[in-house]
Structure formats: C-alpha cells, structure tokens
Amino acid sequence: DADVTQTPRNRITKTGKRIMLECSQTKGHDRMYWYRQDPGLGLRLIYYSFDVKDINKGEISDGYSVSRQAQAKFSLSLESAIPNQTALYFCATSRINEQFFGPGTRLTVL
C-alpha cells in the first residue's frame, strides 16, 4: 500500500530555513505532482513533472522549487521557509488521468 511515500511525515522548522520534502513512488508512473492543502481551500498545485526532463509550474509555485532526480523521485524545496507556508503537502503520481496520492507531509513554519 506504500506505492507513494513521502518523507518526512511531519516537520517543524523556523522562518528562513531551507526545507526539502521528498517523494518516492514504485508505481512506475512518469507523471508526478506536488500539492499544498490548506483548510477550506482544497488542493492547490505547486509543481508538476511529466518526465525526468520536464518541470512545470503550477498555480502557486512562488517560494518553492522542485527537482526530479529520477522517474521515481520528485522533491519539493522551500528555499527560505515562511509561516504562511505552513500546510499539508501531498505528492501524487499518475500514468494519465487518475492521480495516486502519498500520505502527506505536515509542515509547520514558526
């Protein structure tokens, strides 16, 4: 059941720190995504990648960067974390349409 894994699951950090969230998948999918979830706002797309050489900005990419190290790995970085980046972060993968989500990373920026 751990087709999409995220590390860490929880992280508390301070303003200005650099943070990396990691995602790995064993589904063999080419497409990977990073979403942010805030209460009452649903899921918002940060970045997505359709293969190792393809990176695209989503609707809220400011303050974030990503790296697609391999087909199975897609990491999200916050270069200088700020408190309004406190949220639940989800990684997802897909072959075409249906997206499979990881368990999420709860990030708190103090």
Partner 1 sequence: GESVGLHLPTLSVQEGDNSIINCAYSNSASDYFIWYKQESGKGPQFIIDIRSNMDKRQGQRVTVLLNKTVKHLSLQIAATQPGDSAVYFCAGRIQGAQKLVFGQGTRLTINP
Contact residues for 84 (Cβ-Cβ < 8 A; gap 6+): 109
> Residue 68, interface with partner 1 (CB under 8 A)?
no
Cα 68 to Cα 11: distance, rounded to the nearest angstrom? 21
Between 14 and 27, whose beta carbon lies closer to partner 1? 27
> Residue 32, interface with partner 1 (CB under 8 A)?
no
> Residue 107, interface with partner 1 (CB under 8 A)?
no
| Residue 75: count of CB within 10 angstroms of its CB | 18
> Residue 31, interface with partner 1 (CB under 8 A)?
yes
Binding residues for partner 1 restricted to 45-64, rule: CB under 8 A: 45, 48, 50, 58
Cα 44 to Cα 34: distance, rounded to the nearest angstrom? 9
DSSP annotation of 31: E
Cα 58 to Cα 85: distance, rounded to the nearest angstrom? 16
Q: Using CB under 8 A, which of 53, 70, 84, 97 touches partner 1? A: 97
Chain residues binding partner 1 by CB under 8 A are 4, 31, 35, 40-45, 48, 50, 58, 90, 92, 97-104
